[in-house]
Structure formats: C-alpha cells, structure tokens
C-alpha cells in the first residue's frame, strides 16, 4: 500500500496536463435477461485497476453492449493478473508512461478513468487527445475549473465525456424522478441527503488532499449534492455550509471530516445535507412534496437500494449498478441516446461548482450565491 501510495503521489506531482437514453423499461425494470443485442459492443479500457476498477470489470461480464478489451495501470503485477483473469491481449495493455500510444489501437473505443481524483483530469485529457471517448469516475475533477478544462478538451477532440453516475440508471431512483415529474408528489418543498461512513485507514489516498482534492465531500458528499439536484429537479441558487472536525490528526488541513450544508432552489425548495467520514449508517435520501413523499435508504450504496413513497414500497428489482451503467453508456456513446438524468461532463461540472461553493461557504461562514 505504501509503495502504491508513493507512486501515485509522485505521479500526481509529475503528470503534465495536455493542452438518459430514455431508460428502456425492459432494461431498467427486470427483463434484462430477455434482451439481446447483435450490434458492435462498446470496447472499454479501464485505467486504474484498484478495488472499484475491479468491481466495474466484474460487472461488465454481464453487460450486453459493453466489453472489457483493454487495461491501463502503473503496477505491472496488476496488469499480469488482469490479463490472465479477463483474457486481455498484451497489445491492449498499457502503463502510465506509454498510455498515449493507445491512439493507435482500434480495439478500444473508450477509456474509463478510475484513479484518485487529482489524476482524473490529466488522464482524461490524454485519452481524449488519443481520440478515445472518456468515462471518468466522480468527482470528475478536484474543482470546477479542472472539470471545464476536461469538457473543453473532449469537445476539441470530438469525443464524448461521461461521468460514472451509476445512480442515474437505478430503477427505484428513476421511479421517484418519474413521480416527481408527473406531479404525483406535488410541489417539491424539501430534500434531505445523508451521506457518510467511517473512513478507516488514515494512510489511504482518500485522506490525502493532494490525491483526493478534499475529504468526505469529494468522495461521499457528492452523492447528496447530485441527489438533491435530480430529486428536486432544479439547480440550486445558493449554499451555506458548516464544518466539524473532531480528529485533526487523521483529517489534515484541506481534508474535510464532516460538513453540513444547505442548498436553496429557485422554486423555494430547500435541501439539508450531511457529508461525513466519521459516522456510519448514513445513506438516506428523503424528498417531501405538497402531495406526497419519497424515501430511499440505502440511497446510493451498491445495493440493493430500498425505498418507499406515500403510495407504498418501491418494488423495482435490483440489478448490478455498474452493469446497467455500462450498457446504458454504450447506448449513449454508440447510438447518441439521451439518458433520463444527464451523465455528461457538463453534469459533472455542475456538481463541482456546488462543491467549490460549499468549501467557500465553510471558509467564509457566509451564504454563497451560485451563478
């Protein structure tokens, strides 16, 4: 772990920056096994072979439209292990130094960047310059400025930039969004988002500001930010925020432990949220309207998601989030389909602008108006 961490720190310091399909009801509501697809698959290279990269690779075994065809890693032993496990040919394996030569590989359509946050921008831009579409884990960058640079680079290279918002394809989540859009909940008045867990190892990259770009807000708090936006159906116009830090040795300057934050929306709806690395059992969304309510708990975990509304329990079946995500993203990239909730780079920048504003509100103690 130590050598891996040191390598990533050196890489972060040295890497040079280069200048909803409308959800198919059968796909998202339980009949995936009956779906067939005979067209060309989306050929994916995963960059960053850690725990989440492994989760995505395993989920892709069940994909109908996306296939793992390449890997990129700074750890030679991981490349060897993944080659054997997933049958990746040597010509489709890259390290962080020769990665740019991926431009000459016709077996790869898209690079999925799954590294520590501070490395997202540079690897995404390198992939775009190599002519490959980009899927980037969230947060897509460490601030909105970097996110906008990624969007601009992908537009210039004429490739798509998507962000790994797996919840945007989750059936119970989409049902609540449908109910809100159809007016079944009435006028939306309040959202609560609780996102947190106890971060264990004090030496993990998530507690290293140079790699993570912050603390809990960058990792888990973004779920409540993003959730508030798609649940309320509006963009916030102001934020306020307060930070609590009980363990300054573990949570160094610039690494937030707990932040409570509030958001206001144009309609008058308000959101009250909590982001923390110091409390477990916090994964809940609650949406309240004049005619009804909706609740998800757990709301964003790997599943199964559980939920209810004023009309009763939500019963949409659980499917592996990353499997559905990758198949849906294949439709976006290959067919130009539009998801119910956006997953493009602009969507990622919107979340980053709010995170920037939350950190500013913590620092100043003032309400920050969002433009």
pLDDT digits (tens, 9 = 90+) for 155-183: 999 999 999 999 999 999 999 999 999 99
- Whether residue 336 is contained in a domain is answered as no
Among candidate residues 94, 223, 277, 359, the one labeled active-site is 223
Q: What CATH number is given to the structural domain containing 39?
A: 3.40.50.720
One domain, residues 258 and 356: yes
Structure tokens, 257:
């432990």
* pLDDT given for residue 179 in this prediction: 98
Mark whether 172 is an active-site residue: no
pLDDT exceeds 90 at position 154: yes
| Whether pLDDT at 232 is above 60 | yes
Average pLDDT on 112-128 reads 98
pLDDT higher than threshold 70 for residue 129: yes
Query: Residue 273: what are its φ and ψ, rounded to 5°?
Result: -135, 160
Residues 236 and 190: their CA atoms lie apart, in Å, by 12
> Distance (Å, rounded) from C-alpha 301 to C-alpha 180?
22
Residues 156 and 226 in one domain: no
- The per-residue pLDDT for 15 is 39
Query: Residue 176: which CATH number?
Result: 3.30.360.10
Give me the helices (H) in 47-92, please: 51-60, 76-86
pLDDT of residue 35: 62
Count: domains in the chain: 2
Query: Residue 38: what pLDDT?
Result: 78
Choose, from 64, 138, 250, 353, the residue flagged as catalytic.
Answer: 138
Confidence of residue 14 (pLDDT cuts 50, 70, 90): very low
117 plus 260 within the same structural domain: no
DSSP bridge partners of 271: 191, 263
Nearest-Å Rg of the Cα atoms of the chain is 20
Is 337 labeled as catalytic in the residue annotation? no
End residue of a domain, out of 151, 168, 185: 168
Domain match, 215 and 282 both:
yes
The pLDDT of residue 13: 44
Residues 6 and 73 in one domain: yes
Q: What is the pTM of this model?
A: 0.91
**Length in residues, the chain:** 371
Average pLDDT of 187-204? Answer: 97
Residue ending a domain, among 168, 191, 219, is: 168
State the pairing for strand pair 133-136/110-113. parallel
Q: What is the mean predicted confidence (pLDDT) over 299-304?
A: 96
pLDDT at 6 over 80: no
The last residue of one of the domains, among 118, 140, 168, is 168
One domain, residues 123 and 193: no
- Structural domain including 183 reads 169-317+343-369
């Amino acid at each position: 772990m130590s050598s891996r961490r040191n390598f990533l720190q050196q890489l972060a310091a040295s890497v040079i920056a280069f200048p909803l399909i409308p959800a198919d009801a059968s796909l998202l509501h339980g009949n995936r096994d009956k779906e067939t697809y005979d067209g060309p698959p989306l050929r994916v290279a995963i960059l960053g072979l850690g725990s989440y990269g492994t989760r995505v690779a395993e989920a892709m075994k069940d994909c109908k439209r996306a296939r793992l065809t390449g890997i990129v890693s700074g750890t030679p032993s991981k490349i060897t292990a993944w080659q054997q496990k997933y049958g990746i040919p040597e010509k489709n394996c890259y390290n962080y130094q020769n990665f740019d030569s991926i431009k000459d590989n016709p077996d790869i359509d898209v690079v999925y960047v799954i590294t520590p946050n501070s490395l997202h921008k540079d690897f995404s831009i390198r992939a775009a310059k190599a002519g490959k579409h980009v899927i980037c884990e969230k947060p897509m960058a460490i601030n909105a400025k970097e996110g906008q640079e990624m969007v601009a680079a992908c537009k210039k290279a004429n490739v798509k930039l998507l962000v790994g918002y797996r919840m945007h394809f989750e059936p119970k989540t989409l049902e609540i969004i449908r109910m809100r859009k159809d007016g079944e909940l009435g006028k939306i008045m309040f959202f609560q988002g609780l996102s947190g867990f106890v971060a264990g190892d004090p030496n993990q990259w998530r507690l290293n500001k140079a790699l993570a770009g912050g603390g809990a807000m960058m990792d888990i708090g973004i779920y409540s930010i993003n959730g508030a936006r798609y649940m309320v159906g509006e963009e916030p116009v102001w934020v306020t925020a307060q930070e609590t830090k009980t363990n300054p040795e573990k949570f160094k300057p610039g690494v937030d432990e707990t932040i409570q934050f509030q958001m206001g929306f144009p309609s008058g709806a308000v959101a009250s949220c909590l982001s923390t690395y110091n409390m477990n059992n916090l994964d809940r969304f609650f949406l309240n309207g004049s005619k009804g309510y909706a609740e998800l708990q757990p709301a964003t975990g790997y599943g199964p998601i559980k939920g209810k509304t004023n009309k009763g329990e939500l019963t949409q079946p659980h499917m592996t989030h990353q499997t559905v995500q990758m198949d849906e993203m294949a439709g976006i990239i290959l067919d130009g389909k539009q998801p119910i909730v956006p997953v493009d780079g602009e969507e990622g920048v919107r979340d980053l602008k709010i995170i920037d504003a939350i950190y500013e509100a913590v620092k100043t103690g003032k309400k920050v108006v969002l433009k």
